[in-house]
Amino acid sequence: MKYVVIIPHGATDLPVAELDGQTPLAAAATPNMDWVAQNGRQGTVATVPAGFAPGSDVGTMTLLGYSVESCYPGRGPLEAAAFGLDIAANDLILRCNLVTLVDGRMYDWTAGDIRTAEGGRLIDDLNAGVAGPNERFVAGVAYRHLLIMSDAADVRCECRSPGGLSGDPIQRHRPRGPGSDRLCGLLDRAHALLADHEINQVRRDLDENPATDIWLWGAGRQRSIRSFEERHGLRGWLLASALGVRGLGRLIGLTVADVPDVGSVDGPDHRAATLAATESLEQTDVAVVHIETPDQAGHAGDASAKVAAIERIDAQIVGPMLDDLRRRHAWKVLIAPDHATHVADRSHESEASPFCMAGTGVEAVVQVPFSETSARQTGLDIDPGHELIEYFFKR
């Protein structure tokens, strides 16, 4: 038996007026997802447990069969795993965004999707001019970086993700709790260093959002997580561009692939990803493909781009994967977004996601296309969501 799990990141949404009251998933032409839905099962899955911020890391951990309440280490540790960093047991690891604040409000939590070279230069200067002896910034990609704090056993503060803070006064969302003074001091010193940095001066001249500040969130410490193979008795392979998802894959022992062009929203070609996933099934049992583009379009507030992203996933990933699977003796495919990303407010949300599955031993139940509404009407609601993959494997 071969299994394929396709996760269109953030594809779940609400009805959008410009799409005649349909969601992007319902408005998209998805003949291959519809085939799966009409020849198998549809339902909803609670990917984001109560009390957790919706994100690719939480949603994907749930979809891969892990209880977030008992296993989740934090976004920072997951991304550190993606980088392969050497982390001590008591180190506190935080995600560090380069952001744009205007008049004390969160204006752009990606700093205009700053270029990686620019972000790396800023991180170097933050290490030289802001970090203390027990702190180091780690350069990542674009606006996404890390802060590692040693001697931080007493730091237990609450840090908000910047994704849902657009337009909000940030004073009310700064770190709070034990050790928050240390983090707030870093925020203030970073603001002073970045204010007149030459990279920001050039970005302003080019009418691009400057990186005026850093934002710290996703704090956590390393922890041991049971491997995917130990948990499910199956070998797994993962393709993803999201750092938190790649780090999760490494922590649970999946083979994490390096395939380009799985994250660009501007007309990516997914065929390399599909070929890699197909070839992986010769050596493994489960191929997991996580594609970011619907989420990126949702954060841009662009409904038509989100429709196009979902259609590309259907045509370039789901269709070819189905063609390959149907030539095999025994197979199953599961399609499930990891969380909702609403076009209307450009934010992640926690409502249950639709899913569909088909393959060997899965009987057709409802002959309707794949969408949020169709999934809800089936009455098959998986909550807690980490039980879905067991249902998929064992059905």
Angle, helices 116-129/180-194, rounded to nearest 10 degrees: 120
Strands 353-359 and 41-45: antiparallel
The predicted model gives 303-309 an average pLDDT of 97
Beta bridge partners of 240: none
**3-class DSSP state for residue 51?**
coil
The pLDDT tens digits of the residues spanning 240-276 come to 988 899 999 999 999 999 865 454 444 567 888 899 9
Q: Report the relative pairing of strands 135-141 and 144-149 from DSSP bridges.
A: antiparallel
- Using pLDDT thresholds of 50, 70 and 90, give the confidence band for residue 158: confident
Residue of 43, 38, 40, 13 whose CA lies nearest to 381 = 43
The model's pTM:
0.90
Structure tokens at 163: 């994704």
Q: How far apart are CA 254 and CA 244, in angstroms?
A: 14
Average pLDDT over residues 28-48: 97
Stretch 57-70: mean pLDDT, rounded?
96
Distance CA 181, CA 186 (A): 9
Other CB atoms within 10 A of residue 88 CB: 10
Scanning the structure block, which residue is given the tokens 């030459």?
Answer: 198
Name the class of domain 2-73+226-394. Answer: alpha beta
Q: How confident is the model at residue 116 (pLDDT cuts 50, 70, 90)?
A: very high
Instruction: Please report the pLDDT score of residue 265 as a whole number.
Output: 42
Give how far Cα 103 sits from Cα of 99, 106, 229, 272, 352, Å.
13, 9, 50, 44, 35
The letter for the amino acid at 182 is: R
What pLDDT was estimated at residue 259? Answer: 65
DSSP SS3 for 91: coil
Nearest to 7 by CA among 248, 334, 390, 349: 334
Give domain limits for the chain: 2-73+226-394, 83-220
- Peptide bond connecting 24 to the previous residue in cis, omega within 30 degrees of 0: no
The 10s digit of each residue's pLDDT in 87-103 is 887 899 999 999 999 99
List the end-to-end C-alpha distance of the chain, in Å, as a whole number.
12
Distance (Å, whole) CA 310 – CA 31: 11
Q: Is the pLDDT of residue 187 over 70?
A: yes
Q: For residues 47-71, give the mean pLDDT.
A: 95
